[in-house]
Each structure stands twice: as C-alpha cells, then as structure tokens.
C-alpha cells in the first residue's frame, strides 16, 4: 500500500495528468541524469494531454505542503504516475 508524505501530496500525485495543477513522478535511467543519487524526479505541471507541447514544469525536491525531502521519501516504483517523458522536452 502506498504511503504518501501528506494528504495534499497524495491528492495532487493521484490526479490525472489532464487535471489542473498536479504532480508527476517520473523514473529516469541513471545515465539520463546529471546527478543520479535518485532515479526519481518530481514535477508540478498544469493539466496537459500527451499531444501538448512546451508544457511548463516545476521540478521539486521537497513537498510543497509538509516539507519532506521527496528523494528520501519516495524510493519505490509504485509511486511512478507518469510513464512518458516527452512533455519535458519541447
């Protein structure tokens, strides 16, 4: 069972990508990262569909609500909610 750092993070991470502001959790290959201490990356995005281009994203390392370090808290593939990375590269 997934255990989130707080209810607000859970709410935003469980929203579909098309809905309002949401949190996308993506796992990268270590060779794709400049700093591979964690393969996971966390983004706040506006609602978008996969055909959208130039999606604004905010890369975050700490929960905006409770302040937990996301890299230390989320270490399991079960939290990945975004399999696509194309929206990150316009």
Whether pLDDT at 19 is above 80: yes
CA 17 – CA 40 distance, rounded (Å): 17
Is 47 a member of any domain? yes
Domain count, the chain: 1
DSSP three-state, residue 33 = coil
Is 61 a member of any domain? yes
Question: What is the domain extent for residue 40?
Answer: 7-82
The DSSP element (H or E) to which 9 belongs, if any, is helix 7-13
Is 1 a member of any domain? no
The two structure tokens encoding residue 8 = 């607000």
Is 46 a member of any domain? yes
The two structure tokens encoding residue 54 = 């130039």
Whether pLDDT at 82 is above 80: yes
Is 77 a member of any domain? yes
pLDDT digits (tens, 9 = 90+) for 22-48: 999 999 988 877 777 789 999 999 999
Is 87 a member of any domain? no
């Amino acid at each position: 069972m997934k255990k989130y750092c707080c209810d607000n993070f859970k709410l935003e991470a469980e929203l579909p990508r098309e809905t309002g502001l949401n949190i996308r959790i993506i796992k990268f290959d270590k060779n794709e990262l400049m700093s591979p201490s964690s393969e996971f990356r966390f983004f706040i995005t506006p609602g978008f569909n996969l055909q959208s281009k130039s999606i604004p994203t905010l890369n975050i390392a700490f929960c905006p609500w409770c302040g937990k370090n996301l890299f230390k808290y989320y270490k399991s593939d079960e939290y990945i909610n975004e399999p696509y990375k194309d929206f990150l590269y316009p």
